[in-house]
Amino acid sequence: MDKLTIRGGRRLDGEVPIGGAKNAVLPVLAASLLTDQVLEVPNAPRLSDVRTMCEVLRELGSGVEFSSRGGVSVQSAQRPASRTGWDLVRKMRGSVCVLGPLLTRTGRAEVSLPGGCVFGVRPIDVHLKGLEALGAQLRIDHGYIIAEAPRSGLVGAELFLGTAFGSSVTGTMNVMMAATLAKGTTVIHGAACEPEVEDLGNCLLAMGARIHGLGSPRIEIEGVTELKGATHAVLPDRIEAGTYLVAGAIAGGRVRTTGCRPQHLSVLTDRFFEAGYAVERGPDWLEVRSDGQRARPTDVTTQPFPGFPTDLQAQWMALMCRAEGVSLITERIYPDRYMHLPELVRLGARIRRQEAVAIVQGTERLSGAHVTASDLRASAALVLAALVAEGETQVHRVYHIDRGYERIEERLVNLGADILRERDEEGP
Ligand code: EPU
């Protein structure tokens, strides 16, 4: 296991090229199960989650090739296996995205139930409800979801996929993929509008699917009898871009994220202005400038797109730890997604929590300490806070961060940060 040792206090200056989005590439790779032809993703990021998804696909009989220039090609077997085991699904909940494509292509899917995760209950009832509406028979057996399509295949239907908190991103994706090969037309009401859903839709269109309404809460899919291979570059990772921009604001200096889509981060840009940071944007870049000043306290509430993303909540909290006053952070998507909170407190932050609301009393000084990463975005927040903490911070269990950030230490070092990755002999 590795750890990151960070000496705080360095200003950042430079550019970070943004890679393909983790949450787009995982479902796109799962979509390879919809055909026996090759699906190529030339800009697949080198993340451990991508490797895990490739292992899932191999387990299902697919051939997977990584190109030396980055990128992945997948070719599903003519008769894919139907079972995805607990070991891989438990590593990465995104593996549940194979359920819809596998079921519609082969008539049967057995996928381990993902169970809870560190930020609380993460149900998949919406996935199951959607597939049932298309005619699937579902049961839970020995911890597995066993899904079977009728002999004559899934049948299009009109259905509602909303949840108490908005809509389900991967639930919408699963049903959308299943509907591409169903008979007749499916209309999804209450579809998730996240850019990653639209991106998957664009990949499916390139594979020959017929889909209307992408990016809106009403998606219509006309089933076709078969799909073909395609080459699809996934959209840039808005969360990776947002994380480096927060790094610039926290540490002081100038950070430009290139190859990103500023329109996917307009809520973050807006919050930066309110917090007193200058943000410039071009067609495919965003730049934050800061002289290391303390932020103005700025509240955020996480919401479905285009609201403030839950995947940037922890990083924003890191920024607010040094604000000149009290900020309220409200987590509406995952009310328990606060594992970073006690670790930020170890760095000197003053944060209290009342159910889904974190009350952050900004303080001038953070100081380095040993902290433990507990999930992907929580780890990112700890690295960000360490950039401005006095002295040395050691972030243990950084394998979490490698799930979603490609070579984060290298990118931050290129910007001027003092970070070292080492084997962790003593860590928890
Ligand atoms: N929900 C239900 N029932 C369901 C599914 C979801 O009630 O069947 C609720 C959840 O409890 C939550 C809300 O709906 O309150 C949204 O959950 P969603 O299903 O949209 O989350 P997801 O699809 O499992 C994806 C990302 C997450 C990201 C969320 C929210 C992938 C692989 N994962 O998860 O990304 O936080 O959408 O935007 O796309 C991350 O990258 O760090 C990450 C956790």
Q: Report pLDDT for 117.
A: 62
How much distance in Å is there from the Cα of 392 to the middle of ligand 1? 34
Helix or strand holding residue 419 (H, E): strand 418-423
**404 CB within 6 A, ligand 1:** yes
| Rounded distance from Cα 256 to ligand 1 centre (Å) | 28
The tens-digit pLDDT sequence of the chain (428 residues) is: 899 999 999 999 999 999 999 999 999 999 999 999 999 999 999 999 999 999 999 999 999 999 888 799 999 999 999 999 888 888 888 899 999 999 999 999 999 987 656 666 678 899 999 999 999 999 999 989 999 999 999 999 999 998 877 899 999 999 999 999 999 999 999 999 999 999 999 999 999 999 999 999 999 999 999 999 999 999 999 999 999 999 999 999 999 999 999 999 999 999 999 999 999 999 999 999 999 899 999 999 999 999 999 999 999 999 999 999 999 999 999 999 999 999 999 999 999 999 999 999 999 999 999 999 889 999 999 999 999 999 999 999 998 999 999 999 999 999 999 999 998 876 66
| CB-ligand 1 contact for 29 (6 Å cutoff) | no
CA of 304 to the centre of ligand 1 (A): 10
State whether the beta carbon of 311 lies less than 6 angstroms from ligand 1.
Answer: yes
CA nearest ligand 1 atom 15, residue: 333
Q: Is 54 a catalytic residue?
A: no
Report pLDDT for 355.
95
pLDDT score for 91: 85
* Alpha carbon distance 82, 59 (integer Å): 9
Ligand 1 pocket test: which of 129, 163, 313, 334 has the largest number of ligand atoms within 8 Å of its C-beta? 163
Whether 294 and 364 have beta carbons less than 8 Å apart is answered as yes
Amino acid at 163: T
Distance 123 CA to ligand 1 centre (A): 9
For a ligand 1 pocket test, name from 122, 129, 175, 336 the mutation site with the most ligand atoms within 8 angstroms of its C-beta.
122
Tell how strand 158-160 and strand 350-354 pair up: unpaired
The predicted structure's pLDDT at residue 159: 96
Distance CA 326, CA 19 (A): 34
117, 203, 260, 321: the catalytic one is 117
| pLDDT computed for residue 406 by the predictor | 94
Of 156, 166, 163, residue with least CA distance to 188: 156
State the sign of the Cα–Cα–Cα–Cα dihedral 345, 350, 354, 357.
negative
Phi, psi of 401 (to 5 degrees): -70, -30
CA atoms of 308 and 113, how far apart (whole Å): 29
DSSP 8-state assignment for residue 425? S
**Whole-structure pTM value:** 0.97
DSSP sequence for 114-161? ---BTTB----HHHHHHHHHTT-EEEEETTEEEEE--TT--B--EEE-
